[in-house]
Amino acid sequence: MLSYYVTDRRQFAGTEAERRARLLQTIREASAAGVDYIQLREPDLAIRELERLAAEALRAIRNEGASRLLIHHRTDVALAVEADGVHLADNDIAASEARALAAKVCTRHFIVAVSCHSTQEVRLAESHGADFAVLGPMFAGEKIALTELREAAQKDRTPDLRVEAGDTRRRFGVFAAGEVNLERATLCAAAGAAGVSGTRLFQECEELKALIIAIGAL
């Protein structure tokens, strides 16, 4: 399974400067530990501040590991700092529009992830060319059931051999988001999730390397 760290500097104590420093340190540690994706999700920041923080986060990641940085909501900021992609909220532009914008300014593959809250939204994101969907929230509040995750991930889909004979393409990836811990990540893996997404799971972990290895082994 893949790992997807969603940042939130406001969960750290201290002044704004201390929170940013702690966030960048956590990003460095997460990348060094092997987190697959890091979503910079700091919605309270003005665009210029977000752009500066994104540039710093990208430098931290490039210096420490091979994590891919996605910017929450702001396709323009992601393109400006040359991040790996964007994470679109459910009320954002469609994945196809974000990819069309990226095609105008860069030749590399621009990752587009989409937040979803139902199987129908997952299928819509897939139809618009998203790279993967993040389904949630799970295990908290009005949670999405594991049966919904299983359906969205097409865990029990029987291939049509007339169409799929010799087809080696992977299914559309669906990440499980919410109050996920390692035990719950095991349940998500069994339901067909491609990975798990969270904030506290990574920001509050004292043994990140061990956590990432454990998630990767699911």
The pair phi, psi for residue 9, each rounded to 5°, is: -65, -20
Q: From CA 49, how far away is CA 46, in angstroms rounded? A: 5
Q: Which residues pair with 134 in a beta bridge?
A: 115, 175
Mean pLDDT value across residues 126-133 = 96
Q: What is the chain's mean pLDDT, rounded?
A: 92
pLDDT band, residue 159 (cuts 50/70/90): low
What is the tens place of the pLDDT at every residue in 81-122? 999 999 999 889 999 999 999 999 998 999 999 999 999 999
What is the tens place of the pLDDT at every residue in 35-80? 999 999 999 999 999 999 999 999 999 998 889 999 999 999 999 9
The pair phi, psi for residue 49, each rounded to 5°, is: -65, -40
Largest distance between two CA atoms of the chain: 61
State the pTM of this model: 0.92
* Res 126 pLDDT > 90: yes
Domains in the chain, CATH or no CATH each: 2-156+169-216 (3.20.20.70)
Confidence (pLDDT) at 161: 54
Q: From CA 25, how far away is CA 31, in angstroms rounded? A: 10
More confident site: 156 or 100: 100
Mean pLDDT value across residues 175-191 = 95
Q: Which residues pair with 69 in a beta bridge?
A: 38
Confidence (pLDDT) at 162: 53
Q: From CA 138, how far away is CA 143, in angstroms rounded? A: 5
Say which range, 18-22, 80-84, 117-121, 137-141, has the weakest mean pLDDT. Answer: 137-141
More confident site: 142 or 194: 194
* Res 12 pLDDT > 70: yes
Cβ partners under 8 Å of residue 105, min gap 6: 79
